[in-house]
Amino acid sequence: MAMTRDASGGGRCLDDEGDAASTVLDGSPWKIIPSANLPVLSEYKHCLLIVRHMYSMPIGLILVKVLALTDHDTMAGIPEAMSAAHKCGIRIIPGVEISALHSPREIPGAGEPVHILAYYGMCGPSRFDELDSMLLNIRNGRYLRAKNILAKLNSLKMPIKWERVTKIAGEGVAPGRLHIARALVEAGYVDNVRQAFNKYLGDDGPAYATGSEPFTETVVQMISRTGGISALAHPWSLKNPDAIIRSLKGAGLHAMEVYRSDGKVDGFSQLAEKYGLLKLGGSDFHGKGTKDETDVGEVKLAITTLSSFLEMARPIWCSAMKDILLKFAEEPSAANLGKILKFGQLSNSDGFAPIDSGTDVVNLCLSSWLSYDDMEDIELEEVRSKLVCYAAKT
């Protein structure tokens, strides 16, 4: 499995390391590959870029079978990416990387920038509107933040045009520091992106500005409410990782990144063990095309790590799925059917097959989202019963 910041699909069966067989976990539809790569990430446009990158590779070179897609502050590209991934045998785990601030006293606008990864089941978040509202607020804040950064750069005698930054970011993408850094390189103010961050755009830089990021504890708690697994991204970038990890563990954090793109662990494995967090990692692929970028699937997670991740995630995702289907049972409609199938690729079709009854909805979703053991859960009978009653009236 590739745990990156991007997710999974289904189709051609290939093992991550070219082995002839993969292991089925507890009879579930998840196939465990001897290699995993959780976070591949970026903006909306990179979701499709990553899948197209995989799709363009010769079949013998596709070493990733499960990919966790976690773009920055948006899940907009995931449904289309899941459809594309399905064609090349990749299973997508829907996710998102959420920008947050850690402030012990929760002072608005103050604190250290922290990124929290959220991983969801095939059905997506159980309360999507709540998650989407938070992400929208963050993205809107990014526009204001970018303009404030440009104002500071202008005062430093390094004017950058807003139009150029938004063009670099791309249509529909909220501009961030990386886009501004590239504009600085284009303008000749710095030699490269790293220098732009080191001299001006870093957290302590003279052009740094905050956006409207929520506090870290709020983000972790929201991920739990919406049926997701939360993980701390790149803790090695934090000034005081121990204190932040301790605080987030208290808020319900499940995991943290330990395995880096360069293969180093740097003592963060011990921090994960200290606070009882699952150890994750990934390639952090953005599709930049640079020589030093780690490719999708190059950072491999042990099969035991993937097994532990799925063991932790399955009951949480199963509960989220039940919530989604129960809401549909209470108010069945074509619009709500579209919502519950927003992220789920049903196992029996390339598109979505006609749904003749509410029972079909449940059975199709269950076969795609759950293991055989999970499908025997007695609580699901409540969902089936409600939908059968609805189908009888239509």
Task: Determine the pLDDT at residue 270.
Answer: 93
- What is the pLDDT at residue 66? 72
Residue bearing the bigger pLDDT, 342 or 268: 268
Return the axis-axis angle of helices 303-330 and 358-369, rounded to nearest 10°.
Answer: 170
Of 201, 221, 248, the last residue of a domain is 201
The answer to whether residue 292 sits within a structural domain is yes
Binned at pLDDT 50, 70 and 90, residue 58 comes out as very low
What is the reported pLDDT for 179? Answer: 94
Residues 192 and 323 in one domain: no
| 309 lies in some domain | no
Segment 78-95 mean pLDDT: 78
Query: Tell me, what amino acid is at 126?
Result: S
Top pLDDT among 361 and 304 is at 304
Produce one character per residue of 150-174: b if its CB has 16 or more CB atoms within 10 Å, e if not. bebbeeeebebeeebbbebbeeebb
Looking up residue 185, the CATH number of its domain turns out to be 1.10.150.650
| Residues 74, 192 within the same domain | no
Q: What was the pLDDT predicted at 61?
A: 38
Does residue 2 carry a pLDDT above 90? no
What percent of the chain shows pLDDT beyond 90? 36
In whole angstroms, what is the distance from residue 112 CA to residue 103 CA?
A: 7
39 and 122 belong to one structural domain = yes
Structural domain range at position 158: 139-201
What integer pLDDT is reported at residue 285 of this predicted model?
44
Comparing 139-143, 239-243, 340-344, the range with the smallest average pLDDT is 340-344
32 and 102 both lie in a single domain = yes
Count structural domains, the chain.
Answer: 3
- State whether 111 and 177 are in the same domain: no
Lowest mean per-residue pLDDT among 29-33, 65-69, 220-224, 259-263? 29-33
Higher local confidence (pLDDT), 10 or 366: 366
- DSSP code at position 271: H
> pLDDT band at 211, cuts 50/70/90?
confident
So what's the pLDDT on residue 156? 97
What confidence score (pLDDT) does residue 108 get? 61
Query: Does residue 204 have a pLDDT over 70?
Result: yes
User: Which residues on neighbouring strands pair with residue 131, listed in sequence order?
Assistant: none
Identify which of 23, 72, 38, 97 has the alpha carbon closest to the alpha carbon of residue 313. Answer: 38
Angle between helix 303-330 and 380-393 (nearest 10) = 40
The larger pLDDT score, comparing residue 303 to residue 362, is at 303
Beta strands per DSSP E along 48-188: 66-72, 91-102, 112-119
**Among 9-23, 31-45, 177-191, 231-245, whose mean pLDDT is lowest?**
9-23
Q: pLDDT class for 82, splitting at 50, 70, 90? A: confident
CA atoms of 244 and 263, how far apart (whole Å): 23
> How far, in Å, CA of 43 to CA of 186, rounded?
21
The pLDDT confidence band at residue 148, using thresholds 50, 70 and 90, is very high
Residues 193 and 228 reside in one and the same domain: no
Whether the per-residue pLDDT at 92 is higher than 60: the answer is yes
Residue-level length of the chain: 394
| Confidence bin at 60 (pLDDT 50/70/90) | very low
Is the predicted pLDDT of residue 130 greater than 80, yes or no? yes
Considering the domain boundaries, does residue 308 fall inside one?
Answer: no
pLDDT at 163 over 90: yes
11: left (phi over 0), alpha (psi -120 to 50) or beta: left
pLDDT band at 314 (very low <50, low <70, confident <90, very high): confident
Query: How big is the chain by its Cα radius of gyration, in Å?
Result: 21
pLDDT above 70: residue 71: yes
Packing angle, helices 44-55 and 78-87, rounded to 10: 0
Does residue 393 carry a pLDDT above 60? no
Q: Are residues 121 and 160 in the same domain?
A: no
State the chain's mean pLDDT as an integer.
74
Residue 98 and residue 179 share a domain: no
pLDDT (average), residues 203-220: 93
What token pair was written down for 381?
Answer: 């009978």
Higher pLDDT: 32 or 317? It is: 317
Q: Are strands 112-119 and 40-42 parallel, antiparallel or unpaired?
A: unpaired
Q: Are residues 36 and 118 in the same domain?
A: yes
% of the chain residues with pLDDT over 70: 61
Query: What pLDDT does residue 3 have?
Result: 47
Same-domain pairing of 226 and 98: yes
Report if residue 382 sits inside a domain.
yes
Overall average pLDDT of the 345-364 stretch:
49
- Specify the pLDDT at position 36: 43
Q: H/E/C letters for each residue in 194-243? A: HHHHHHHHCCCCCCCCCCCCCEHHHHHHHHHHCCCEEEECCHHHCCCHHH
Model confidence at 178, pLDDT cuts 50, 70, 90, reads very high
Region 340-360: what's the mean pLDDT?
A: 52
